[in-house]
């Protein structure tokens, strides 16, 4: 492996860790990302660190501010609504294409991921960061399984990025706000509709499910009317 390969691998590894810390809220919204602090935090040199930050700027997880350096993007009502509506447009379409192309392996993936998610819901501990990590991983796996048979890799890639962006809004509150009485039935219904190839109903159910994140987060982060306090007169 060449020095360039080592640098690329190091940049990829630290980009992954940075992304995780930003999504989990360990690096707070709007926080400055000073190179000397990050070098110490992640034990990496400045060259791969700068490359990692540039990657995350392109993905929307870091703001590049020219001479001012880098920072964690703030959480805003406008951004949450933007990614929610975009995801509501893209992910149901990816599901529709997956239902048309899905085979037995796709079906098995949905069933297996649903089983893991249900088990995680049963042992829930919403205020525990370790459980939050595990729940988010299982929930993400389920959504990936739903669209796994979609033949458009760019589309599923966009869906994946938007999912992670929305996860950040849930995690920044340091808990998981979910109606636990409905969590299992909602995901069981999504799986049933997908496996039945009921395209219209499955797409509508997924669109509604995606909207629940905004429904839960907006009042908590931005007030009872869901408005960002910075937008108020």
**pLDDT of 149 strictly over 50:** yes
| Average pLDDT along the chain | 89
**pLDDT of 80 strictly over 90:** yes
Q: Where in the chain is the domain with CATH 1.10.10.10?
A: 3-71
Who has greater pLDDT, 227 or 47?
47
Check: CB of residue 98 under 8 Å from CB of residue 146: yes
Who has greater pLDDT, 230 or 180?
180
Domain 3-71: give its CATH architecture.
Orthogonal Bundle (1.10)
Please give the biggest Cα pair distance in the chain.
Answer: 58
Q: State the average pLDDT over residues 218-222.
A: 82
Residues ≥6 apart with Cβ < 8 Å to 82: none
Who has greater pLDDT, 180 or 202?
202
**pLDDT of 214 strictly over 90:** no
HSE of 99, CA atoms in CB hemisphere, 13 A? 20
Q: State the average pLDDT over residues 121-148.
A: 94
26-75, pLDDT tens digit by residue?
A: 999 999 999 999 999 999 999 999 999 999 999 999 999 877 799 999 99
CATH of region 77-221: 1.20.120.530
The pLDDT of residue 71 is 95
- Place 224 in a pLDDT band, splitting at 50, 70 and 90: low
Provide the token pair at 34: 């000073």
The pLDDT of residue 221 is 79
Strands across the sheet with 70-71, in order? 32-33, 70-71, 63-64
Ramachandran class of 174: left when φ > 0, alpha when ψ lies in -120 to 50, beta otherwise = left
Which alpha helices (DSSP H) does the chain contain, by range?
3-23, 35-42, 46-59, 77-101, 104-122, 129-147, 153-171, 180-195, 199-222
- Place 181 in a pLDDT band, splitting at 50, 70 and 90: confident
Who has greater pLDDT, 124 or 2?
124
Q: State the average pLDDT over residues 205-230.
A: 78
Who has greater pLDDT, 62 or 221?
62
- Place 233 in a pLDDT band, splitting at 50, 70 and 90: very low
Q: What percent of the chain has pLDDT over 90?
A: 73
Q: Where in the chain is the domain with CATH 1.20.120.530?
A: 77-221
């Amino acid at each position: 492996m060449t020095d360039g390969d080592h640098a690329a691998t190091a940049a990829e590894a630290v980009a992954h860790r940075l992304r995780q810390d930003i999504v989990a809220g360990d690096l707070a919204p709007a926080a400055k990302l000073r190179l000397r602090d990050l070098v110490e935090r992640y034990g990496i040199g400045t060259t791969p660190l700068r490359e990692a930050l540039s990657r995350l700027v392109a993905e929307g997880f870091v703001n590049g501010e020219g001479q001012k350096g880098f920072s964690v993007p703030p959480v805003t009502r406008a951004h949450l609504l933007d990614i929610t509506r975009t995801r509501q447009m893209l992910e149901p379409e990816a599901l529709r294409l997956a239902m048309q192309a899905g085979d037995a392996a796709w079906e098995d993936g949905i069933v297996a991921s649903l089983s893991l998610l249900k088990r995680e819901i049963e042992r829930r501990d919403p205020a525990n960061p370790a459980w939050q990590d595990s729940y988010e991983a299982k929930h993400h796996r389920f959504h990936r399984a739903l669209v796994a048979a979609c033949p458009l890799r760019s589309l599923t890639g966009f869906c994946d990025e938007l999912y992670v962006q929305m996860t950040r809004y849930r995690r920044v509150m340091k808990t998981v706000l979910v109606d636990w009485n409905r969590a299992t039935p909602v995901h069981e219904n999504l799986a049933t509709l997908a496996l039945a190839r009921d395209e219209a109903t499955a797409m509508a159910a997924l669109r509604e499910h995606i909207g629940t994140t905004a429904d839960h987060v907006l009042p908590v982060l931005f007030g009872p009317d869901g408005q960002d306090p910075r937008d108020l007169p």
